[in-house]
């Protein structure tokens, strides 16, 4: 099987029993029962054995036929629950109706009224806990996996527009002479940039890394979100004359207050994310060979370490890699380690699979690619080998107790259950905090005890002319929530500068 050969994910393996041509030939609208009889369309995916050794996208996207059939499953609910569960309130039945009728350009136009990054959200939104969670079709069929695949349809039309038709550059109002500075080029910052620039204000994005895109670029791996899609969105903003200043760390290169006083910006948006990795503070965590998922993924994605030997970015490629954690970041790190050639990748999580915060789809993908899961255990310390690098890991077993403040059962250590395993690399993926740099250099900025910036309902911080949104406000959240906050702040900035 070659790398482009397709297979289908196993959750929806039943083939379509009604063909699109049969439906179109009838010429009469489908009845609800007939819609419910159309099987969920499976997403074509790369075969797990093949994709273990390449970085290409795993999900290959619907064909036109599949997209139209999937869209025909939608019951066009009068009070659609899916819209209420989408953080940016896309008119879901309307865009799906257009896909069913083959009007893909119209469909993308409807989506873009509320979501500027549909190719990205269609790929990475946790749809099963957002728009698809209460979908009527899923409810009737008794399985959220059988809900209308809203995200996949959104991805389909966004890809169709980018690849097969001409994308138009959003129109920009006449120049106002006002200047807005955006700190951070993740989804929050990119969203603010688009909305503020469209109002005719000059926009500069200051980004600490050498490439814009935030976690979309440096965190989420290529096999889930191809970088060319993020680059395409960044280039659209560049075509609108948004200025990107990379390698520019606000708080070091320039203080936030200097942007307002010395550089004459009329408003500032802070979208700096939550990029400071958490560690467990256990013995041996600073041994060579133990690193954060952030560092590991950044080296792989942003510095293209996976292109070895073409790129000579150093990255660990252990034979036996342990990944600590059970969230999406842990899955991304484990699956990247597989692709970088690790012989064994072990995922260590202290609760059970039922409590894992990662998307079910990502857990399934990781297992299909050979990641070995170990639940109800956690490392206690790391031990060096003769060369000073990590060589062993002492773990302890857990049992589950009463729910804790997160609502999940509390993991309780089983005394005396310690055991040791050999490892030659450890990737810690137990969450992120906010980087304190901007707060430390801007004392007037109010934050909560976790360092998240406090904002009002318009995204305004404790400082005049300064707004914030995304992970720096919410803690580690999602792409679409960051974008939603960006839209609110952009509207407030546009009102301020009107």
- Contact residues toward ligand SF4 (CB under 6 A) are 74-77, 80-82, 86, 88, 90, 92-93, 115, 121-122, 125, 127, 130-131, 135-137, 148, 150-151, 154, 480
Q: How are beta strands 425-428 and 6-8 bridged, if at all?
A: unpaired
Helix/strand/coil for 239: helix
Q: Find the shortest distance in angstroms from Cβ 101 to ligand FAD.
A: 30
Counting contacts by CB under 6 A, is residue 194 touching ligand FAD? no
Return the number of other C-beta atoms located less than 10 Å from residue 481's C-beta. 20
Supply 70's token pair: 């999937």
Among ligand SF4, ligand FAD, none, partner that 284 touches (CB below 5 to 8 angstroms by kind): none
Buried b (16+ CB within 10 A) or exposed e, 8-35: bbeebeeeeeeebeebeeeeeebeeeeb
Give the residue with the Cβ less far from ligand FAD, 42 or 214: 214
Do the Cβ atoms of 132 and 82 come closer than 8 Å? yes
Q: How are beta strands 267-270 and 466-468 bridged, if at all?
A: parallel
Q: Find the shortest distance in angstroms from Cβ 474 to ligand FAD.
A: 8
Calpha distance 377→351 (Å, rounded): 7
Q: Find the shortest distance in angstroms from Cβ 323 to ligand SF4.
A: 27
Counting contacts by CB under 6 A, is residue 273 touching ligand FAD? yes
Give the residue with the Cβ less far from ligand SF4, 127 or 298: 127
Instruction: Single out the residue of 50, 240, 243, 477 in contact with ligand FAD (rule: CB under 6 A).
Output: 477
Instruction: Single out the residue of 186, 277, 325, 484 in contact with ligand FAD (rule: CB under 6 A).
Output: 186
Counting contacts by CB under 6 A, is residue 209 touching ligand FAD? yes
Q: Find the shortest distance in angstroms from Cβ 181 to ligand FAD.
A: 10
Do the Cβ atoms of 49 and 2 come closer than 8 Å? no
Among ligand SF4, ligand FAD, none, partner that 272 touches (CB below 5 to 8 angstroms by kind): ligand FAD
Give the residue with the Cβ less far from ligand SF4, 90 or 393: 90
Alpha helices in 81-181 (DSSP H): 81-84, 92-100, 104-112, 118-124, 136-141, 150-164
Alpha helices in 254-383 (DSSP H): 256-261, 293-301, 328-339, 360-368
Give the residue with the Cβ less far from ligand FAD, 395 or 426: 426
Calpha distance 155→153 (Å, rounded): 5
Among ligand SF4, ligand FAD, none, partner that 76 touches (CB below 5 to 8 angstroms by kind): ligand SF4
- Comparing CA positions, the residue from 67, 159, 55, 61 lying closest to residue 117 is 159
Q: Find the shortest distance in angstroms from Cβ 123 to ligand FAD.
A: 8
Among ligand FAD, ligand SF4, none, partner that 82 touches (CB below 5 to 8 angstroms by kind): ligand SF4
Of the chain, the end-to-end C-alpha distance in Å amounts to 59
Q: Find the shortest distance in angstroms from Cβ 483 to ligand FAD.
A: 8
Counting contacts by CB under 6 A, is residue 492 touching ligand FAD? no
Counting contacts by CB under 6 A, is residue 461 touching ligand FAD? no
Q: Find the shortest distance in angstroms from Cβ 133 to ligand SF4.
A: 9
Binding mask 123-152 toward ligand FAD (x if CB under 6 A, else -) reads -xxx--------------------------
Counting contacts by CB under 6 A, is residue 478 touching ligand FAD? yes
Give the residue with the Cβ less far from ligand FAD, 63 or 253: 253
Residue with tokens 């979208």: 271
Helix/strand/coil for 344: strand
Calpha distance 392→417 (Å, rounded): 16
Residue with tokens 């965590």: 285
Instruction: Note the residue count of the chain.
Output: 498
Among ligand FAD, ligand SF4, none, partner that 220 touches (CB below 5 to 8 angstroms by kind): ligand FAD
Counting contacts by CB under 6 A, is residue 453 touching ligand FAD? no
**Can you name the residues that pair with 379 across neighbouring β-strands?**
395
Q: How are beta strands 390-403 and 377-384 bridged, if at all?
A: antiparallel
Sheet architecture: strand order including 243-245? 243-245, 202-206, 179-183, 267-270, 466-468
Give the residue with the Cβ less far from ligand SF4, 89 or 238: 89
Among ligand SF4, ligand FAD, none, partner that 269 touches (CB below 5 to 8 angstroms by kind): none
Give the residue with the Cβ less far from ligand FAD, 72 or 182: 182
Calpha distance 223→236 (Å, rounded): 23
Question: What contacts 416, CB < 8 A, 6 or more positions away?
Answer: none
Give the residue with the Cβ less far from ligand SF4, 82 or 468: 82
Supply 15's token pair: 């083939």
Counting contacts by CB under 6 A, is residue 250 touching ligand FAD? yes
Among ligand SF4, ligand FAD, none, partner that 438 touches (CB below 5 to 8 angstroms by kind): ligand FAD
Among ligand SF4, ligand FAD, none, partner that 215 touches (CB below 5 to 8 angstroms by kind): ligand FAD
Among ligand SF4, ligand FAD, none, partner that 92 touches (CB below 5 to 8 angstroms by kind): ligand SF4
Q: Find the shortest distance in angstroms from Cβ 430 to ligand FAD.
A: 12
Q: Supply angle C-alpha 390, 363, 410, rounded to 5.
A: 75
What's the sign of the alpha-carbon dihedral 483, 487, 488, 489? Answer: positive
Calpha distance 143→128 (Å, rounded): 11
- Judged by the rule CB under 6 A, the positions of this chain that interact with ligand FAD are 124-126, 183-189, 206-209, 214-215, 219-220, 249-251, 271-273, 275, 297, 328-329, 332, 435, 437-438, 470-472, 477-480, 482
């Amino acid at each position: 099987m070659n790398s482009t050969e397709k297979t289908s994910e196993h959750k929806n393996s039943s083939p379509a029993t009604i063909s699109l041509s049969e439906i179109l030939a009838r010429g009469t609208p489908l009845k609800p029962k007939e819609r419910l009889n159309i099987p969920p369309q499976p997403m074509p995916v790369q075969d797990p054995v093949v994709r273990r050794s390449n970085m290409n996208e795993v999900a290959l996207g619907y064909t036109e036929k599949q997209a139209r059939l999937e869209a025909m499953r939608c019951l066009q609910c009068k009070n659609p629950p899916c819209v209420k569960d989408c953080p940016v309130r896309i008119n879901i039945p309307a865009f799906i109706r257009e896909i069913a009728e083959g009007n893909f350009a119209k469909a993308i136009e409807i989506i873009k009224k509320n979501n500027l990054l549909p190719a990205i959200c269609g790929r990475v939104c946790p749809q099963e806990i957002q728009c698809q969670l209460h979908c009527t079709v899923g409810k009737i069929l008794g399985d959220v996996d059988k809900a209308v695949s809203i995200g996949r349809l959104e991805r389909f039309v966004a890809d169709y527009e980018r690849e097969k038709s001409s994308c138009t550059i959003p129109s920009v109002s006449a120049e106002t002479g006002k200047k807005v500075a955006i700190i951070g080029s993740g989804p929050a910052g990119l969203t603010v940039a688009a909305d503020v620039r469209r109002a005719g204000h000059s926009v500069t994005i200051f980004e600490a890394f050498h490439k814009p895109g935030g976690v979309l670029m440096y965190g989420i791996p290529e096999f889930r979100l191809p970088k060319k899609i993020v680059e395409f969105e960044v280039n659209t903003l560049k075509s609108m004359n948004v200025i990107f200043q990379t390698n520019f760390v606000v708080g070091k290169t320039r203080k936030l207050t200097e942007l307002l006083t010395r550089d004459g910006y009329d408003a500032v948006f802070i979208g700096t994310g939550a990029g400071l990795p958490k560690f467990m503070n256990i013995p041996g965590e600073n041994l060579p060979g133990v690193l954060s998922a952030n560092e590991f993924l950044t080296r792989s994605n942003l510095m293209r370490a996976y292109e070895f030997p073409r790129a000579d970015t150093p990255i660990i490629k252990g034979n036996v890699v342990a990944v600590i954690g059970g969230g999406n970041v842990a899955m991304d790190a484990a699956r990247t380690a597989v692709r970088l050639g690790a012989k064994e990748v072990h995922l260590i999580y202290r609760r059970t699979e039922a409590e894992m915060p990662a998307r079910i789809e990502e857990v399934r993908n990781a297992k299909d690619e050979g990641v070995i899961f170990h639940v109800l255990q956690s490392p206690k310390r790391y031990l060096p080998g003769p060369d000073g690098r990590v060589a062993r890991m002492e773990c302890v077993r857990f049992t589950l107790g009463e729910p804790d403040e997160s609502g999940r059962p509390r993991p309780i250590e089983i005394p005396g259950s310690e055991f040791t395993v050999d490892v030659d690399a450890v990737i810690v993926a137990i969450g992120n905090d906010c980087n304190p740099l901007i707060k430390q250099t801007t004392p007037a900025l109010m934050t909560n005890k976790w360092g998240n910036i406090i904002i009002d309902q318009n995204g305004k911080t404790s400082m005049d002319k300064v707004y914030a949104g995304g992970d720096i406000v919410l803690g580690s959240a999602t792409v679409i929530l960051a974008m939603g906050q960006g839209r609110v702040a952009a509207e407030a900035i546009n009102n301020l500068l009107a």
